[in-house]
Chain A
Amino acid sequence: MVIRIKSAVVVALGLIASFHLWAQAASESQLEATFICNSLQFVEWPTETLPAPDSNIVLGILGKDPFGTEIDRAFQHKKINGHSVMVRRLKGMDEIHSCHVLFVSRSEERKVREIVEQIGDRGILSVSDIKGFAGRGGVLGLTRENGRLSFEINLNVVKRARLQISSKLLRLAKIIEGKGR
């Protein structure tokens, strides 16, 4: 009888713990979604990629989608500087070119270099929570600092992509100057 109760408790604890982890994971992606959403306000794309004021910003998710419906919800009624945002889950790297914002999922960690080369100098805001993403040629890298969500920005890549990022955002970011070509 005692052993049964003990194991029940262990199982229960285990369930609670994993749920907690799952909840944490879920809230983290929510945070990231909000974060990305907020950041986009401070970004301006070159006129070739975003010609008209009513053109759409395309946000592509490359790799395993960690957000689920959260990111769709974040951008549902929001307009970034007057542009509506369309969220697309990409099936392959060749779809990269159609995006304005490219979220690289952690599942693609080993392909980062390839992805960066594929992006090239196009005005695409690449964002990811892969460790050292900005240092490896990405524009915006999401990091954890003191338990808080923070970010790095690679200025050289920004310059090459001809993206304009407001100083208001830059101020809050850790500036990385790496991987210039």
Chain B
Amino acid sequence: MRFQNRPITQKVTLIIVFTSTIVLALASGAFMAYELLTFRQQMTQHLTTISRIIGENSTGALIFDVPADEEEVLSALRTEPNIVAAAVFDQHGKLFAQYPHPNPALKNHWVPERAGFHLGNGFLVLTQPIVQNGALLGSIAIKSNLEQMYSRFRLYSLIVLMVFVGSLVLAFVLSRILQRVITQPILDLARTARQISEEKNYGVRARKFGTDELGQFTDAFNAMLGQIQKAEEEIRVLNAELEQRVQSRTAELASSTKEMEAFIYSVSHDLRAPLRHIAAFGEILQEDFTDQLSPEANEYVQRMVDGARNMSRLVDDLLNLAGIGRKELKCEPTNLDALVDEVIRDLEPELGNRQIEWRLEHLPVVECDRGLTKQIFANLIANSVKYTRRREKAVINIATVKSIRVDNQTAIFIRDNGVGFDMKFSDKLFGVFQRLHRAQDFEGTGVGLATVERIVRRHGGHVWAEAELNKGATFYFTLGK
């Protein structure tokens, strides 16, 4: 695990232990090195002193040539356990006396060396001249084993190691205890933050430990929480206001819509009566007075009657449209296949000798208002029939498809191979009186699709269209779920 990702308690402990280890190692190393150095010094000093003393005491024996006395002097070396042998040479370099008493089994070859320290075979030999009154009387060589140094070094190493390990353990224990001073506030803060974010309760405040940087952070954190709380409150107030505003607007909208519908309804009704007059009298003229009128006049009358009929149809459509908004939906399971067949049968008189290929697929049974849904099919199919008039063979396809547009639910579509329309104007399609084709090319009131849209919307569904100019159009719709 990367160091950065370890928990804080571990980090602090590791840092402390690591630092302690390095410091201890350095200190131990320094002390051991010092010990080694001074001990070596001590040893050489000691050896030098001993050899000087013995040398001093040997002058008599050397001058008077009494080796026995010399051996006695040398035997004092018995007290030094680390001095294994010593030898005194006369001024000619000949062996004068030795310690310990020469043992033929031990091979202690003494060869007089130059003055100074000689290291070899694990022994240290110091050779010094014996001088009195400026005259060289002989020399003394003392051989010391390094055992003392090694054993002392070993002991010291052991002690150092034990202290090292002990201190490390202590450092570890202490750090575990003391790291809490640093980590506890941090952990507490982290816990509080987690708690707040989980419960979304911004009234909770973090506990402050001390006035160090962490304390400052805690203050800032708590201040932030306070601000969040305030902001929350503001939002709540605003939301409430918004709700109210929306409600009042909706109410306004509803009432204005209702007013509009009432207006349309009454106007439409009032428009109908005069239209009926116009149509009626026009028909009378056509029936009874055709021969009294010129062909031109007859044409004008025809035009008048057509116009009145058109307007009547428009008024009817508008009335219908307005009615949809006010009527109650009577929803029941409806067999859509039967509905489509009905609509096609109703249209048959208008089809005449048109070549229309109907590609009908099985439609589901849907919970909806039968009458209104029939209007949807009637309008869409009539449109398809109308706009495929220019084709030799019209192909009208009615089926279902799963569309992303409605979260992969099933939508019903009606596809034709008529004139289509430019998708640029697709958003205008379902507006009232919106016509994307000229009246000369295709008649129509411009209310049909608006009606479809209104009905679909009342069912809680969606309606949309896709088309390509001169290739055809497809109208999709869903009726709620």
Chain A interface residues (CB < 8 Å from chain B) = 35, 38, 41-42, 79-81, 166, 168-169, 171-172
B3 within 8 A of A: no
B69 within 8 A of A: yes
Provide the bound-state CA to CA distance between A166 and B61, in Å. 13
Kindly list 4 other residue pairs between chains A and B, CB separation below 8 angstroms, not including A168-B60, A171-B69, A172-B66: A38-B64, A41-B63, A41-B132, A172-B61
Set of chain A residues within 8 Å of B66, measured between Cβ atoms: 172
Chain B interface residues (CB < 8 Å from chain A) = 57, 59-61, 63-64, 66, 69, 132-133
Set of chain A residues within 8 Å of B69, measured between Cβ atoms: 171-172
Q: Is there contact, CB below 8 Å, between B133 and A171?
A: no
Q: Is there contact, CB below 8 Å, between A41 and B133?
A: yes
Q: Is there contact, CB below 8 Å, between B133 and A172?
A: no
Provide the bound-state CA to CA distance between A171 and B69, in Å. 8
Q: Is there contact, CB below 8 Å, between A172 and B64?
A: yes
* B64 to chain A: closest residue by CB: A172
Minimum C-beta distance from A109 to chain B (A): 25
Q: Is there contact, CB below 8 Å, between B60 and A169?
A: yes
* B56 to chain A: closest residue by CB: A168
Q: Is there contact, CB below 8 Å, between B133 and A81?
A: yes
Set of chain B residues within 8 Å of A168, measured between Cβ atoms: 57, 59-60
* A149 to chain B: closest residue by CB: B64
What are 22 A-B interface contacts by the 8 Å CB criterion? A35-B64, A38-B63, A38-B64, A41-B63, A41-B132, A41-B133, A42-B60, A79-B133, A80-B133, A81-B133, A166-B60, A168-B57, A168-B59, A168-B60, A169-B60, A171-B60, A171-B69, A172-B60, A172-B61, A172-B64, A172-B66, A172-B69
Provide the bound-state CA to CA distance between A38 and B57, in Å. 15
Minimum C-beta distance from A46 to chain B (A): 20
Looking at chain B's contact residues, the main secondary structure is helix
Provide the bound-state CA to CA distance between A180 and B132, in Å. 33
Set of chain B residues within 8 Å of A172, measured between Cβ atoms: 60-61, 64, 66, 69
Number of A-B residue pairs, CB cutoff 8 Å, is: 22
Minimum C-beta distance from B375 to chain A (A): 148
Provide the bound-state CA to CA distance between A77 and B63, in Å. 18
Provide the bound-state CA to CA distance between A166 and B60, in Å. 9
Closest 4 CB pairs of A and B: A168-B60, A38-B63, A172-B60, A172-B64
Provide the bound-state CA to CA distance between A171 and B59, in Å. 11
Minimum C-beta distance from B90 to chain A (A): 14
Provide the bound-state CA to CA distance between A73 and B57, in Å. 28
Set of chain A residues within 8 Å of B60, measured between Cβ atoms: 42, 166, 168-169, 171-172
The winner among A35, A38, A80 for most chain B CB atoms within 10 A is A38
Set of chain A residues within 8 Å of B57, measured between Cβ atoms: 168
Set of chain A residues within 8 Å of B133, measured between Cβ atoms: 41, 79-81
Set of chain B residues within 8 Å of A80, measured between Cβ atoms: 133
Minimum C-beta distance from A158 to chain B (A): 16
Minimum C-beta distance from B63 to chain A (A): 5
Minimum C-beta distance from A60 to chain B (A): 23
The winner among A35, A166, A169, A171 for most chain B CB atoms within 10 A is A171
* B63 to chain A: closest residue by CB: A38
Minimum C-beta distance from B416 to chain A (A): 144
Set of chain B residues within 8 Å of A38, measured between Cβ atoms: 63-64
Set of chain B residues within 8 Å of A41, measured between Cβ atoms: 63, 132-133
* B57 to chain A: closest residue by CB: A168
Minimum C-beta distance from A28 to chain B (A): 16
Provide the bound-state CA to CA distance between A80 and B133, in Å. 8
Set of chain A residues within 8 Å of B63, measured between Cβ atoms: 38, 41
Set of chain B residues within 8 Å of A35, measured between Cβ atoms: 64
Provide the bound-state CA to CA distance between A25 and B66, in Å. 22
Set of chain A residues within 8 Å of B132, measured between Cβ atoms: 41
Provide the bound-state CA to CA distance between A171 and B64, in Å. 11
Provide the bound-state CA to CA distance between A80 and B63, in Å. 14
Provide the bound-state CA to CA distance between A79 and B135, in Å. 11
The winner among B63, B64, B69, B133 for most chain A CB atoms within 10 A is B64
Minimum C-beta distance from A166 to chain B (A): 8
* B58 to chain A: closest residue by CB: A168
Set of chain A residues within 8 Å of B64, measured between Cβ atoms: 35, 38, 172
Provide the bound-state CA to CA distance between A42 and B57, in Å. 12
Minimum C-beta distance from B96 to chain A (A): 14
Provide the bound-state CA to CA distance between A171 and B60, in Å. 8
* A166 to chain B: closest residue by CB: B60
Minimum C-beta distance from B438 to chain A (A): 151
* B72 to chain A: closest residue by CB: A171
Set of chain B residues within 8 Å of A166, measured between Cβ atoms: 60
Minimum C-beta distance from B61 to chain A (A): 7
Provide the bound-state CA to CA distance between A80 and B132, in Å. 11
Provide the bound-state CA to CA distance between A169 and B60, in Å. 6
* A81 to chain B: closest residue by CB: B133
Minimum C-beta distance from B135 to chain A (A): 9
Set of chain B residues within 8 Å of A171, measured between Cβ atoms: 60, 69
Set of chain B residues within 8 Å of A169, measured between Cβ atoms: 60
Minimum C-beta distance from B70 to chain A (A): 10
Minimum C-beta distance from B67 to chain A (A): 12
Minimum C-beta distance from A27 to chain B (A): 15
